[in-house]
């Protein structure tokens, strides 16, 4: 049984979606939207944590956000090259869930996997609407594609006030203890466990200041924004 989704959010690693748009997910899930997150890799190259632990953390984060589904394509971490087979996997995910809106990481980011994910998802959104591409699955046209920020930001085209659900975003991020915790004999220092969560909060707070709200998340679109289709 295929789960029809309103929003489908792609990330290279579990925690990308939460960092960029955990509040927007929580807010819309609370309002009744069916939202899924699809992680492209198991983040098996991460310095801290194991695949099993990260899977459990991703499930915990999914519950904190009220996700309708969470999937993992198990593509190679640090190997998200522009492979037609990878695009096909993403197209299949889009066609199975038939979302109205797709979200991908912003196309500029210091982590190459995030930019690679962005590029692969854009190609897949395009191919998903082509009837003669993978004809065994019905074609699907995604109405809107929005890009969320992970490490790097730009002036957003859209901002969502996430103040009322910020605790849910923080809970989803705290689920990734293997990435953000600083104690433990075998914990390797990475940017994620050196004040990263505080910086995410500061970023969301700073953006909120533009509209006098406590916290906001920003998005970029390559097409002119039509507000009635987003909320
Ligand atoms: Zn990531």
Tell me the pLDDT tens digit for each residue of 62-72.
999 999 999 99
Are 70 and 59 spatial neighbours (Cβ–Cβ below 8 Å)? yes
For the whole model, what pTM was predicted?
Answer: 0.94
* H or E element at residue 194: none
Q: pLDDT tens digit string along 142-189?
A: 999 999 999 999 999 999 999 999 999 999 999 998 888 777 767 788
How far apart CA 106 and CA 217 sit, in angstroms, is 13
Are 163 and 208 spatial neighbours (Cβ–Cβ below 8 Å)? yes
Are 14 and 147 spatial neighbours (Cβ–Cβ below 8 Å)? no
The pLDDT of residue 49 is 80
Question: 226 C-alpha vs ligand 1 centroid, how far in Å?
Answer: 29
Q: pLDDT tens digit string along 97-144?
A: 999 999 999 999 999 999 999 999 999 999 999 999 999 999 999 999
Question: 132 C-alpha vs ligand 1 centroid, how far in Å?
Answer: 33
Per-state percent for the chain, helix, strand, coil, to nearest 5: 40, 15, 40
Q: What are phi and psi of 116, to 5 degrees?
A: -65, -40
Q: Mean per-residue pLDDT for 190-210?
A: 91
Question: 111 C-alpha vs ligand 1 centroid, how far in Å?
Answer: 7
The number of angstroms, rounded, from the C-alpha of 124 to the middle of its chain's C-alpha atoms is: 15
CB-based contacts of 226, cutoff 8 Å, min separation 6? none
Question: 77 C-alpha vs ligand 1 centroid, how far in Å?
Answer: 10
The pLDDT of residue 3 is 80
């Amino acid at each position: 049984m295929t789960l029809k989704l309103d929003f489908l959010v792609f990330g290279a690693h579990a925690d990308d979606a939460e960092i960029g748009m955990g509040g927007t997910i929580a807010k819309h899930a609370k309002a009744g939207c069916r939202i899924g997150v699809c992680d492209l890799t198991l983040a098996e190259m991460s310095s801290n944590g194991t695949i099993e632990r990260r899977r459990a953390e991703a499930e915990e984060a999914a519950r904190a956000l009220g996700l309708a589904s969470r999937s993992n394509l198990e593509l190679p971490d640090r190997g998200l090259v522009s492979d037609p087979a990878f695009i096909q996997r993403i197209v299949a995910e889009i066609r199975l869930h038939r979302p109205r809106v797709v979200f991908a990481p912003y196309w500029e980011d210091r982590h190459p996997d995030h930019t690679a994910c962005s590029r692969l998802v854009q190609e897949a959104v395009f191919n998903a609407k082509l009837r003669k591409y993978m004809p065994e699955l019905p074609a699907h046209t995604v109405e809107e594609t929005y890009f969320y920020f992970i490490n790097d930001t730009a002036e957003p085209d859209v901002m969502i006030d996430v103040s009322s659900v910020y605790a849910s975003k923080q809970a989803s991020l705290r689920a990734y203890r293997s990435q953000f915790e600083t104690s433990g004999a075998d914990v390797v220092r990475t940017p994620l466990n050196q004040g990263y969560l505080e910086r995410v909060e500061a970023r969301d707070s700073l953006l909120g200041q533009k509209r006098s709200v406590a916290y906001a998340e920003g998005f970029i679109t390559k097409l002119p924004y039509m507000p009635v289709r987003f909320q």
